[in-house]
Amino acid sequence: MSDEESPDKPAEAADEPVDLDAIRSDLASLEDDLGALEADLEAAETEADLDVVEADIEAFRSELEPIEIPEPPEEEEDEDEDEETVTPEEELQERYDDIESDVSDLESDLEDQRGPYAEDVIGEINGVSGTITGTRWTEEGNAELIEAVDDFLDDLNDLLGSSVTLVNEGETVPEQLEATLENAVDAVEAADLDPDDDAETIAGLLEATDGLESDVDDATEWTDLQIREQLRREGFYDVLDHVKDFPPEWHALKVHEKRGNVDMILLALETFGSDFMEEHCMEALERMGPEEAIEPMLQKANRRDQAAMAVLGKIGVDDDEVVDTLLDYVDSNPNLQQPAFRALGEIGTAEAVQPIANQLVDENPDVRSWAARALGLIGDTRAIDPLADVLADDEADRVRASAAWALTRIGTRDALEIVAEYDDDRAYLVQAEAENVDLEPAA
């Protein structure tokens, strides 16, 4: 006898006969109870009434959930497939599912019938406050916000009998209005509104918050302005006595560069969407090399922007984040390697010496040449030996010439002596670098 047939083991529950009539009776009883619950919910007028209905629904679920409908028996193979017969089990499952669906709808209707609550009003006020502080507004937008909040306070005070007024403390209008709306929230909380006794007051407050939200949505945001109007209000065009170049923003950009107005150039870069103006903004920043541009250039460099890498190089600040960003492109494709090498060389960071030196053996001669020149710009003496190897052995003369230039740029006596040995080299560029070496000590 197998283990499954052992008399010591109880029979599987699935093998026990199921009393379908008992299940049918239970479901019929629950259907009657469900009808009573629907009537109770319809008659409920207060939160307390709804609490009772909610408890009854929970009790109803505790009776429904333990009921398990058995699986219908498997069909016989020779049974006519065209005959669609509903088994008792399937009929019971359908009734169970209908009850489950109806009780879910009842729970949803219960939640819809609750409230509104004072917490709903507070949530609406806080939401509007967040919109006000999280948005940049024009001057007229600020005035519109003040008027909107002032109108809301009139409604709030009428409904609550409170005396909330506009707060004048704070550096900006949004900060003042944020503090004002915090006081409005305090007034709602202090009123201790009951969802039954004060239902009309709560409804009035929600209507007032809806009006406030609508007025705030209609207030003039900074982004509602056209680009030229934004820049005009920021003073970008104030430097123009007359329009010398077209478009006028190009002429203004030139004046701002001449005057060192980095903030205005960054504003133009952020605001204008044209490739023309972006190119000229980036060229101006590259010529100026201002440290104020590090953060926006980092953001662009992280998006593989070659012009931004060039600007970071001209700025020349040995910042960890800048260096790490540029090092990410050292072993990239040539289009990104060239500006990254150059920028790291101009910054002169010692951290880049080994990663760039590793590129001296790249199969692309352009990459090898750029790497050599970057090492020369850095000027670290650790690069002397690998550059000497390139000068001696590289098959591309332009790469050897770059190595000679780099060694001359490093400028130690050891480096210069290596280059000086190539004064009769076959390659003119290498020979020219060697002939320019001056080994005589300075007077």
Q: What is the mean pLDDT of residues 177-205?
A: 91
Residues 6+ apart with CB under 8 A from 15: none
What value does the mean pLDDT of the chain take? 86
* pLDDT for res 329: 96
CA distance linking residue 249 with residue 267, whole number of Å: 12
Residues 6+ apart with CB under 8 A from 16: none
Nearest to 131 by CA among 203, 55, 41, 218: 218
Residue 336 contacts residue 308 (beta carbons within 8 Å): no
Q: Which residues of 382-414 are buried (b: 16+ CB within 10 A; e: fewer)?
A: ebbebbbebbeebeeebbbbbbbbbbbbbeeee
In this structure, what token pair is assigned to residue 137?
Answer: 């507004």
* pLDDT for res 243: 52
pLDDT at residue 13 tops 60: no
- Tell me the per-residue pLDDT of 316-345, one tens digit each, with 9 for 90 and over: 999 999 999 999 999 999 999 999 999 999
- Tell me the per-residue pLDDT of 373-398, one tens digit each, with 9 for 90 and over: 999 999 999 999 999 999 999 999 99
CA distance linking residue 329 with residue 22, whole number of Å: 74
Band of pLDDT at residue 9, cut at 50, 70 and 90: very low
Residue 205 contacts residue 159 (beta carbons within 8 Å): yes
Band of pLDDT at residue 114, cut at 50, 70 and 90: confident
Tokens 């504003």 identify what position?
267
Residues 6+ apart with CB under 8 A from 58: none
Fold annotation for 348-443: Leucine-rich Repeat Variant (1.25.10)
pLDDT at residue 415 tops 60: yes
CA distance linking residue 330 with residue 102, whole number of Å: 65
CA distance linking residue 369 with residue 396, whole number of Å: 9
pLDDT at residue 74 tops 90: no
Burial class (CB in 10 A: 0-12, 13-18, 19+), 251: middle
* pLDDT for res 294: 96
pLDDT at residue 80 tops 60: no
* pLDDT for res 63: 85
Band of pLDDT at residue 54, cut at 50, 70 and 90: confident
- Tell me the per-residue pLDDT of 284-293, one tens digit each, with 9 for 90 and over: 999 999 999 9
In this structure, what token pair is assigned to residue 298?
Answer: 């980092």
pLDDT at residue 276 tops 60: yes
CA distance linking residue 103 with residue 66, whole number of Å: 15
- Measured CA distances, 142 to 127, 176, 211 (Å): 18, 11, 17
DSSP H or E segment with residue 107: helix 88-113
Question: Is the bond preceding 386 in cis, omega lying within 30 degrees of 0?
Answer: no
In this structure, what token pair is assigned to residue 186?
Answer: 């305090």
In the chain, % of residues over pLDDT 70: 90
The strand pairing partners of 221, in sequence order, are 137
- Tell me the per-residue pLDDT of 152-174, one tens digit each, with 9 for 90 and over: 999 999 999 999 999 988 889 99
* pLDDT for res 16: 66
Higher pLDDT, 352 or 442: 352
Band of pLDDT at residue 62, cut at 50, 70 and 90: confident
Nearest to 135 by CA among 197, 218, 255: 218
- Measured CA distances, 353 to 34, 210, 311, 406 (Å): 79, 62, 20, 13
Residue ranges of the domains in the chain? Answer: 20-71+86-113, 118-224, 348-443
pLDDT at residue 10 tops 50: no
In this structure, what token pair is assigned to residue 258?
Answer: 């001449």
Helix axis angle for 294-301 and 320-327, nearest 10°, is 20
Where do the H-state alpha helices sit in 114-138? Answer: 118-133
- Tell me the per-residue pLDDT of 116-139, one tens digit each, with 9 for 90 and over: 888 889 999 999 999 999 988 888
pLDDT at residue 71 tops 80: yes
Map residue 71 onto helix, strand or coil: coil
* pLDDT for res 26: 83
CA distance linking residue 353 with residue 375, whole number of Å: 7
In this structure, what token pair is assigned to residue 195?
Answer: 């969802």
Q: Which of 14-18, 104-108, 270-274 has the lowest mean pLDDT?
A: 14-18
pTM value > 0.75: no
